[in-house]
Amino acid sequence: MPTAKPKIVLYWHRTDLRLHDSPALNAALSLNPTTFIPIWTWDPHYPPTASSTPASNYGSSVKRRRAFCLNCGTRGGVTHLVFEKDEDAYARERDGVVVRLAEEAGVEVIVKSGRTLFDVDEIVRKNGGKPTLSMAQVEKAVEKIGNGVPERPIDAPRSIPDPLTRDEMDLKGVKHDGGGMGSKSNDGTDMNADHRSTTDKQYAGIMGPENDFGVPTLEEIGIDPADVQTPHRGGETVALELLGGYIADEEYIGRFEKPNTSPAAFEPQSTTLLSPHLHFRTLSVRKFWWDVQDVMERRKKAKKSNASIPTNLPGQLLFREMYFAAHAAVGEPFCRTYGNPMVRFIDWHLQSKSPEDIAHGEEGGKLYEVDSEEAEVWFLRWKEGRTGFPWIDALMRQLKQEGWIHHLGRHSVACFLTRGGCYVSWERGAEVFEEMLIDRECFPSYKVTSIFCIAECGQRLLTQVIPITDETACNIGNWMWLSCTAFFAQFYRCYSPITFGKKWDPEGNLIRRYCPELAKFDKKYIYEPWRAPIADQRKWECRVTGDGRSSTNEDGKIYPKPMFDFNDRRTICLDAMKNAYHVGLHGNDKEVKDGSWRKAFGLDEDGKRPKKKQKT
């Protein structure tokens, strides 16, 4: 009798770092592989440092698996390649190439949707091929897919077949970079240099410094664990525990209404903080949706009220679908203004350079035009949490230290940077979020540097550096929303950096926590410390002076003065937004592409703004 052909199944993990409800993993295991090879590959477009391995639940065998990234075709060749679908523009291009190469090599490719509630391409089709721009459109589209109900999640596999053992592998012929190259981008730049205190040793040899294919430790990638400040931890086990905790609290689930959750709450935060887990897919979004739905059904039967879409939890998950589907419909230009048909063009400061200008520009030069030195300073002060507005600074410092802030906190800082203060391009803000958020959805071709510890694997910290090219949708989409360039147009509704925070947190506890120099200020002045009498500032051991570049002076601790008069800036921004809406250009209009938009906005030949704006 002829023996059955061995099935060597390569399972390509991207950010689907989970075992439960993984249609792709399920499909791979259903093939009954003779050899099952789960890999995490290091895409050269990714922000470099550690190549990493999948979620912690793979347990001790995880160590052996890294080798297969390097040598997966060693014995007999792979017969099947399986991975989770990714609809983002860059991912489509990448996956298209991989699929073609695999098929040319006679490898069968299986791709399954699994990162969203519904197949995003299907949502786009049901929305007439157009980007979904409102919740109503999303609801209507998904109604046509499964009556608005996603498929039920599938269980985690009971066991995962072993890959080849170390002895079975022949790695002699495999070339390796000999130390460090894997942590650099194509042009040789080490994008995580700022975070490293020693040299990256993980590429000391193909098998890692311990010769065991182990998951690299933070130390091995040259990062001091003491520098990792985020209290948030990752991994599938953590994600399921967190979700389980919320699900056990039926009142929380049933009554959850996003606008009623406080942006000032920390320890614990007021929303689920499950976004990093959805980003890394250590939590299945369908499991999240169904566990919540089941609670709501039980409450309904017990005649208890539930909040409704879009403010409830299922509504939040549908926002995620909305942005993914919009991105899938628009493709690559979704990530920027230039060439993007759905985004309004506004005459922001610090506009992105055109792709052509970037391509022909100086290597390592700025990706944006500095049309105003003042705006550049405002942008840097915003980014570093030293605007002189404590509410904004506390949030930006929380973001920098911990990688996560509440949705309404994101509203506050995004509005402040764009249409409600600095009038700086939303693209600058999205880049900063991309750099700092642990749930960030990144945009292609920009550099990412921070680290999120996603799991603990035995004694070793399993680290994951965020893939640069994964999921642009939520970050970009929300920045468009907040800057009123797409999805939302009520630009006259502006967040005050003083009254908005005060409403949620009259004592200023968030400020005291993240701007500790202000901890002793009376609540009367905590949102406007510059108004406090000098004698009180002395009594509370912090003087309000300078621009925040220094945290002390000869008198002791200092906190910066506000970088502008907010009310003046609000008026200027509002006028400018009105004008931009009146001009009515979009990212793919000719005037935007050839630079003649300046004329339409009344700028002079040198691109200078009208006098009124220059005064600010």
Ligand X SMILES: Cc1cc2nc3c(=O)[nH]c(=O)nc-3n(C[C@H](O)[C@H](O)[C@H](O)COP(=O)(O)OP(=O)(O)OC[C@H]3O[C@@H](n4cnc5c(N)ncnc54)[C@H](O)[C@@H]3O)c2cc1C
The verdict on 137 binding ligand X (CB under 6 A) reads no
Nearer to ligand X, 216 or 310 (CB): 310
Of 315-344, which residues contact ligand X (CB under 6 A)?
Answer: 316-317, 319-320, 323
The verdict on 115 binding ligand X (CB under 6 A) reads no
Of 489-518, which residues contact ligand X (CB under 6 A)?
Answer: none
Q: How far is the CB of 600 from ligand X (least distance, A)?
A: 27
Q: Please enumerate in sequence order all residues whose Cβ is within 8 A of that of 535, keeping only pairs 6 or more positions apart, or say none.
A: none
Rounded (5°) CA angle 63-66-72: 130
Q: How far is the CB of 563 from ligand X (least distance, A)?
A: 20
Nearer to ligand X, 80 or 277 (CB): 277
CA neighbor of 461 nearest in space, from 136, 268, 155, 217? 217
Q: How far is CA 616 from the centre of its chain?
A: 33
Residue type, 217: T
Stretch (H or E) spanning 360: helix 355-360
The verdict on 272 binding ligand X (CB under 6 A) reads yes
- CA neighbours closer than 13 Å in the CB half-sphere of residue 292: 27
* CB-based contact 347:601 (threshold 8 Å): yes
The DSSP-derived string for 550-574 is -SEETTEEEEPPPSS-HHHHHHHHH
Nearer to ligand X, 41 or 311 (CB): 311
The verdict on 271 binding ligand X (CB under 6 A) reads yes
**Site of tokens 């915003």:** 382
Q: β-pairing, 80-84 with 8-13?
A: parallel
The verdict on 289 binding ligand X (CB under 6 A) reads no
- CA neighbours closer than 13 Å in the CB half-sphere of residue 60: 1
- CA neighbours closer than 13 Å in the CB half-sphere of residue 112: 19
The verdict on 482 binding ligand X (CB under 6 A) reads yes
Q: How far is the CB of 178 from ligand X (least distance, A)?
A: 35
Nearer to ligand X, 220 or 431 (CB): 431
CA neighbor of 509 nearest in space, from 521, 497, 499, 495? 521
- Please identify, among the stretches 16-24, 33-41, 437-445, 607-615, the one whose residues bind ligand X according to the rule CB under 6 A: 437-445
Among 393, 439, 470, 517, binds ligand X (CB under 6 A): 439
* CB-based contact 610:602 (threshold 8 Å): yes
Beta bridge partners of 11: 38, 82
Nearer to ligand X, 477 or 529 (CB): 477
Burial of 302 (0-12, 13-18, 19+ CB in 10 A): exposed
> Which strand ranges, in their side-by-side order, compose the sheet holding 556-559?
543-544, 556-559, 552-553
The verdict on 480 binding ligand X (CB under 6 A) reads no
Among 84, 435, 441, 517, binds ligand X (CB under 6 A): 441
The verdict on 478 binding ligand X (CB under 6 A) reads yes
Of 172-201, which residues contact ligand X (CB under 6 A)?
Answer: none
Q: How far is the CB of 260 from ligand X (least distance, A)?
A: 11
- How long is the chain? 616
Among 433, 514, 527, 540, binds ligand X (CB under 6 A): 433
Instruction: List the x/- string, 197-216, binding to ligand X by CB under 6 A.
Output: --------------------
Nearer to ligand X, 83 or 433 (CB): 433
Among 19, 448, 474, 577, binds ligand X (CB under 6 A): 474
Q: Which sign, positive or negative, has the C-alpha torsion 130, 132, 136, 137?
A: positive
Nearer to ligand X, 420 or 529 (CB): 420
- Please identify, among the stretches 39-47, 51-59, 311-319, 347-355, the one whose residues bind ligand X according to the rule CB under 6 A: 311-319
Nearer to ligand X, 274 or 465 (CB): 274
Of 348-407, which residues contact ligand X (CB under 6 A)?
Answer: 406-407
Q: How far is the CB of 532 from ligand X (least distance, A)?
A: 31
Nearer to ligand X, 345 or 479 (CB): 479
Q: How far is the CB of 422 from ligand X (least distance, A)?
A: 14
Say how far apart CA 302 and CA 296 lie, in whole Å: 10
Q: How far is CA 5 from CA 2, 9, 77, 116, 143, in A?
A: 9, 12, 12, 35, 43
* CB-based contact 374:495 (threshold 8 Å): no
Of 31-70, which residues contact ligand X (CB under 6 A)?
Answer: none
Q: Rounded to the nearest 10 degrees, what angle do helices 407-417 and 373-383 cross at? A: 160
CA neighbor of 216 nearest in space, from 204, 232, 227, 230? 204
- Please identify, among the stretches 140-148, 190-198, 408-416, 592-600, the one whose residues bind ligand X according to the rule CB under 6 A: 408-416
Q: Please enumerate in sequence order all residues whose Cβ is within 8 A of that of 305, keeping only pairs 6 or more positions apart, or say none.
A: 254, 255, 299
Q: How far is the CB of 548 from ligand X (least distance, A)?
A: 22
The verdict on 278 binding ligand X (CB under 6 A) reads yes
Give the three-state DSSP class for 467: coil
The DSSP-derived string for 362-384 is -TT--SB----HHHHHHHHHHHT
The verdict on 570 binding ligand X (CB under 6 A) reads no
Q: β-pairing, 543-544 with 556-559?
A: parallel
Q: How far is the CB of 420 from ligand X (least distance, A)?
A: 12
The verdict on 479 binding ligand X (CB under 6 A) reads yes
The binding site for FAD consists of 271-275
**Size of site (CB under 6 A) for ligand X:** 29
Nearer to ligand X, 495 or 527 (CB): 495
- Dihedral pair phi/psi, residue 168, rounded to 5°: -75, -10
Among 258, 281, 386, 397, binds ligand X (CB under 6 A): 258
The verdict on 472 binding ligand X (CB under 6 A) reads no
Nearer to ligand X, 220 or 441 (CB): 441
Q: How far is the CB of 381 from ligand X (least distance, A)?
A: 18
Binding stretches for ligand X (CB under 6 A): 258, 271-275, 278-279, 313, 316-317, 319-320, 323, 406-407, 410-411, 414, 433, 437, 439-441, 474-475, 478-479, 482
